[in-house]
Amino acid sequence: MGKPLPHDLISQASGLIAGDELKKAALDYSRAMREKVERDQGGLLSVFDGWFARVVRRLTEFDASHPWEESVRENAAQSPAAEDLQWDLLRLRLFLDRWRRGRFVTFAERERSQIHYHPRFGTEFSADVLLTCQGAPSLMRWRGQPLMKNVFDFAMYPALISDVRPRTIFEVGSGLGASAAWFADHMTFCGIDGRVHSVDRAKAQMEHPRVSFYQGDCRSPEKLFAPELLGTEPHPWLVVEDAHQNVVAVLQEFHKFLLPGDYLVVEDSDVKRDALRSFLGAHPGSYLVDTRYTDNFGRNATCAADSIFVRTKADERAFRLTLAGAEGDKEIAFATSSPGLPR
């Protein structure tokens, strides 16, 4: 039997990319994928690359005058063995609907598109995956301490650190200190001359040569870190909020010091949506979601669902950010008034 299509996704599929627009996006992505495979992967296809190519090849065998959705539906009605293609087409549409929007999108746009996904987490994954992705029954560990990150973020953060190359990382919510040490070690792996500052209500007792631990309370966000520290630590910054207390006020305090090109990550954002709406509503045009990190393993395959932000200008002036990547450094231009940001 084929893969079952969740009823809520079937009912919402009409709002996804479709018709000629779907065909064009599929062919555009196919070209970009071939270039990427040759340039970055030595001609080797990933699992996703191979799947995408197979599905598009099957779809292009249908009558070109008909939408793929119609052809696949009629084909499944005539041949039950072909129902797998319905599932493939839905996954293709979900992916291309995201891809065509570009890499940097507003939080509001992400919320509008969430209708096609898990109602709480905004992802394609089932509750089973979400329940166990931190490890079950045991957590992953770093330097002998439990690391409260899920398996997707275990890959996402190193990529973000490698690309953005933050000189300073601020973490609100130290826990036992493993995540701060993990961040610092990855800065070392990437050859970044930087430091991690981490705060919690109880100062972490872990020691690391590149981490400073502090005691602080989110009820007094202006006292979490000394203004002198915030005013002098080198940029770019990576700020990670993982404390779950007085979230809006904590983010507002960091907003005073964040510069264009700095990154702000709000973890466990499924329970902080109202706080995010309030904070972002107070700073329109100041932050964009970077979907390279939220969606690399599937939509919102991270505990920071829709909440890995890059700081932008609040006005319509553009700024430029240099990101390191496999193809060398890339300078990316942002303009918050522009409808088309780079993928």
Nearest one of 166, 255, 153, 168 to 212, comparing CA atoms: 168
pLDDT per residue over 72-82, tens digit each?
Answer: 999 988 887 77
Is residue 289 a contact partner of residue 307, using CB atoms and an 8 Å limit? yes
What is the C-alpha to C-alpha distance for residues 226 and 230, in angstroms, rounded to an integer? 6
Is residue 117 a contact partner of residue 123, using CB atoms and an 8 Å limit? yes
Q: What is the pLDDT of residue 331?
A: 56
Nearest one of 32, 77, 75 to 53, comparing CA atoms: 32
DSSP string, 253-298: HHHTT--TT-EEEESSGGG-HHHHHHHHHHSTTSEEEEHHHHSBTB
pLDDT per residue over 292-307, tens digit each?
Answer: 999 999 999 999 999 9
What is the C-alpha to C-alpha distance for residues 251 and 264, in angstroms, rounded to an integer? 9
Q: In the predicted model, what is the mean pLDDT of residues 53-73?
A: 96
pLDDT per residue over 244-271, tens digit each?
Answer: 999 999 999 999 999 999 999 999 999 9
64-100: b or e for each residue (b if 16 or more CB lie within 10 Å)? eeebbbebbeebbeeeeeebebbbbbbbbbbbbbbbe
Q: What is the pLDDT of residue 341?
A: 31
Q: In the predicted model, what is the mean pLDDT of residues 205-224?
A: 97
Alpha carbon distances (Å) from 258 to 168, 251, 309: 11, 10, 11
- Where would I find the H helices in 165-258? 178-189, 227-232, 247-255
What is the C-alpha to C-alpha distance for residues 304 and 288, in angstroms, rounded to an integer? 14
Q: What is the pLDDT of residue 116?
A: 85
| Between 318 and 272, residue with greater pLDDT | 272
Yes or no: is domain 104-334 CATH 3.40.50.150? yes
Alpha carbon distances (Å) from 117 to 121, 259, 303: 8, 32, 15
Give the residue extent of every domain in the chain: 7-99, 104-334
pLDDT at 326 over 80: no
**What number of other Cβ atoms are within 10 A of residue 249's Cβ?**
15
Q: What is the pLDDT of residue 329?
A: 53
The overall average pLDDT reported for the chain is 89
Is residue 152 a contact partner of residue 183, using CB atoms and an 8 Å limit? no
Nearest one of 114, 111, 107 to 285, comparing CA atoms: 107
pLDDT per residue over 173-182, tens digit each?
Answer: 999 999 999 9
pLDDT band at 128 (very low <50, low <70, confident <90, very high): confident
pLDDT at 288 over 50: yes
pLDDT band at 330 (very low <50, low <70, confident <90, very high): low
| Between 228 and 5, residue with greater pLDDT | 228
pLDDT per residue over 141-155, tens digit each?
Answer: 999 999 999 999 999
Q: What is the pLDDT of residue 323?
A: 52
Q: What is the pLDDT of residue 175?
A: 95
pLDDT at 316 over 70: no
Contacts of 246 (CB under 8 A, 6+ apart): 218, 219, 221
